[in-house]
Amino acid sequence: MKCTLHNLGCKVNSYETEAMRQLLEAAGYEIVEFGSETADVYIINTCTVTNIADRKSRQMLHKAKKDNPNAVVVAAGCYVQEAGGKLLADEAVDIIVGNNRKGQIVEVLDEYFKGRNIDDSFIDINKTKEYEKLEINASLSHTRAYIKIQDGCNQFCTYCIIPFARGRVRSRSLEDIVGEVKKLAKSGCHEIVVTGIHLSSYGLDFDNTEYNAQPVPNAERLLQVLEAIAEIDGIDRIRLGSLEPRIITDAFLERLSAIEQICPHFHLSLQSGCDATLKRMNRRYDTQEFYEGVKKIRRFFDKPAITTDVIVGFPGETQEEFEVTREYLEKINFFEMHVFKYSRRRGTIADRMENQVPESVKSERSDVLIELDEKLSRAYRESFVGETQEVLVEEYTERDGVKYAVGHTKRYVKVFIPVDGEDGGNVNINAEVPVIITGLFGKDSVMSKVALAN
């Protein structure tokens, strides 16, 4: 039986989609690329972070049924939790699988094909304390693998629906994490990206401690995970997912910087550079604390890549508040900024706030920050020209008749390496190659040449 999967949303979703794919493949399903040919089973791992994500989720479910009206279409994930059983009223959807049930995808399909009731494939995610066991044995890229160590969020930012779609903080055991990473290393992966819905809360549930009772997130548990991964043969790089700004302390950075494999690439979710806006968002830090954290990172790591998320047009955001944010972003000097226009989510506090910002104003402000992002990113990439950097090669590609090897530095700068001509060399996939950065290449990458040994 042919099965195809399509992922929408975050890196955690991507990980879970790959885990489902491997479970189905092990059960005998023939996995085909989504859209390449018709399948018997379509699994759409949905997202609900914005209204646009909801719409895309519905569109992909309908596309699946249109591609093969006789196929079984499975809606899985966050939009399922948000939309609930209403999705079953949609003629395009045959099965719903909520969060914390993706690991049972094979059993759910088996029961469906036997004509049995599968109501337990959707649960009240806010009432479970169980961490769903999912894992992957190998990465499709064979160079970098994402590993999920935590699910759920206790933050309840006023704009965010995710705590309702993902539930409360649930953490994975250290033993399970190490076991999966060992399998990934054995399969040839050299880089591990540690991720979760609210990564800084890892282990909070182990201690049975309320998040608000701690001035700083539970860094000790996360550090133990990173130190254990670093001990595994074959893992040359460890990259962190999004971190809570409050976790950035001298003690945390001192231990982190002692781990040789840690990539100096930090994603600190900011959302706004204006304290008044942060307060309305129910973010648990202010701009000064965030700024001090960035300065600490730059003290412990050389030229770290610092990236962030920013929301424009949050309810009540005045032009003056937006200008405060713009100036603050330039002061921080990020490598990359992911700019989002505020999206109203029914059921959140922000949806009921007054002074909603018009879409046209959101678009204007978004354009300003995207232009700033391009400027800051270009300057950061230019700062490496003339330097030697280690690149983990991920793939070959061709542009304008020239063949390149493509990979990323530890700071996640995308690098093109010509593999023909005098600048070429013995550049193999999944190898770390020393290169000299020679200049910018396009809007998001740099050009290089192999640094040949003397």
For domain 2-123, the CATH architecture is: 3-Layer(aba) Sandwich (3.40)
Q: 């074959």: which residue's tokens?
A: 234
* Domain segments of the chain as ranges: 2-123, 144-382, 388-450
pLDDT in tens, 85-105: 678 788 899 999 988 889 999
Q: pLDDT band for position 218 (50/70/90)?
A: low
Q: Any idea which of 295-299, 358-362, 447-451 has the lowest mean pLDDT?
A: 447-451
Average pLDDT over residues 119-133: 75
Please tell me the number of Cα atoms within 13 Å of 113 on its side-chain side.
11
Task: Please name the residue that has the structure tokens 């270009």.
Answer: 378
Architecture of domain 388-450: Beta Barrel (2.40)
Is residue 207 scored above 80 in pLDDT?
no
pLDDT score of 250 more than 60 = yes
Mean pLDDT over 321-349 rounds to 96
**In the chain, pLDDT over 70 holds for what percent of residues?**
94
Contact 360, 366 (CB under 8 A): no
Q: What is the pLDDT of residue 208?
A: 63
Give residue 176's pLDDT. Answer: 95
pLDDT in tens, 33-67: 998 889 999 999 999 988 889 999 999 999 999 99
Please tell me the predicted confidence (pLDDT) of residue 217. Answer: 55
For residue 32, give Cα distances in angstroms to 5, 40, 44, 219: 8, 10, 14, 41
Whether the pLDDT of residue 141 is over 80: the answer is no
Tell whether domain 144-382 is in CATH 1.10.10.350: no
List the one residue out of 419, 374, 375 whose CA is nearest residue 398: 419
Rounded to an integer, what distance in angstroms lies between the CA atom of residue 452 and that of residue 454? 6
Confidence of residue 454 (pLDDT cuts 50, 70, 90): very low
Place of tokens 């991964």: 229
Would the pLDDT of 453 be above 70? no
Which residue matches tokens 């648990």? 284
Q: Tell me the pLDDT tens digit for each residue of 417-442.
A: 998 755 445 688 899 999 999 999 98
Give pLDDT tens digits for 277-307: 999 999 999 999 999 999 999 999 999 999 9
pLDDT score recorded for residue 301: 98
What pTM was estimated for this model as a whole? Answer: 0.90
pLDDT of residue 123: 66
